A and B are shown apart, each in its own frame.
Chain A
Amino acid sequence: MQIAEARVDGVVAVAPAGRIDTTTAPVLEQHLLRLLVAGERRIVVDFAGVDYISSAGLRVMLVLARRLRDANGQLGLCAMGDAVRQVFQLAGFLPLFVVADSRAAVVQQIAGS
C-alpha cells in the first residue's frame, strides 16, 4: 500500500491509496502508530485516494483514536468517498471522529484545539 505524508500547521496528514482491508490495514496501522510513537499528536487521515475500507481498517482508526486521545492528541478524518463513508456510517463510526470534507477544513478543526 502506498501512503503519502504531509505536514501542515503542526498536523501530520497521512494519505493511504487503494483499498484498506485485511491485507493492507496492518501496513497502515504500523505507519500511523510509528508517527504516534515519534511524538505526533495531531494526525489527519485523508481518504481521497482510498477506494474502500473494511472493518479491518475501521479497527485501525479505533485503535489510533484511543491512543491519541490517551496522549491528549487529536485525530481527524477527511475526504471520504461514498464507499468509505458508507462503511463508517453502517458501523456507527462517524460520530466517534472529527470528520470534514476537505483536508484544509479538518486540519483547521484539530490544529486549533
Chain B
Amino acid sequence: MRTVETLSVPGTLPGVLQAVQAFEHFGRTHALSEGAAWRFLVALDEILSNIVRHGLAGRRDAIDLMFSIDGDDVAVEIIDAADAFNPLLAPPPDTSSPLDDRQPGGLGIAIVRRLMDDTQYERRDDRNHFIMRWRPHADR
C-alpha cells in the first residue's frame, strides 16, 4: 500500500530544517530502515538548501514536499516556484584532484545522484519538480 504525506515549508534555511525534521518523523512512523532514512535526510538538505540559496534567492516562496512509501520503495518529490533549473544538468564535480583544486560547488547534487537509485527533474505548471527514490537492495 502506498502512503503519501505532503507538506509545505517556507523557502528559508529554517524551512530546510523543518523539512528534514518532518522526514525524520515520517521515517520513524513508517519504520524506515536507518540505511534509507539518512540518504533522504542528506538529499533533502542538498536539494532544499540549493533552492533556498540559488533558486529563490531570498524570495522565501513556499516549497512543497511529497514523501511516499510503498513497501520498501521510498520517494521524495520537491516542488518549487523558482526559475526553471534542472540540477541534473549540472556538470559533475571534480572528485579526484588535490586539495587546492577542489571546488565545493556541484558536490551536493553529485552526492544526491549517488545516494539515490533514481533522480528525475520536470518543469511543470511553471514549477520545478525534483523526484528522488531509493529502495533497499539485498546486495547492499
Contacts and interface: CB of A to CB of B under 8 A. Distances in A.
Interface of A: 19, 21-23, 51-56, 58-59, 62, 65-66, 69, 82-83, 86-87, 90-93, 96
B46 A54 contact: yes
Contact of A21 (B35, B42, B100): B42
Given A58-B104, A92-B95, A22 B45 contact: yes
A59 B100 CA distance: 13
A21 B18 CA distance: 13
B38 interface: yes
Contacts of B99: 62, 65-66, 69, 96
User: Size class of B's contact patch?
Assistant: 20 to 34
A52 B111 contact: no
Given A22-B16, A23-B16, A58-B104, A87 B42 contact: yes
Contacts of B45: 21-22, 54, 56
Describe A's contact surface by its main secondary structure. Answer: helix
A21 B104 CA distance: 14
Contacts of B96: 92
B10 interface: no
Contacts of B66: none
B102 A87 contact: no
Contacts of B41: 19, 21, 52
B100 A55 contact: no
Contacts of B59: none
A86 B95 CA distance: 14
A69 B94 CA distance: 21
B128 interface: no
Given A23-B16, A66-B99, A91-B111, A55 B38 contact: no
A59 to B, nearest CB: 4
A55 B114 contact: no
B111 A54 contact: yes
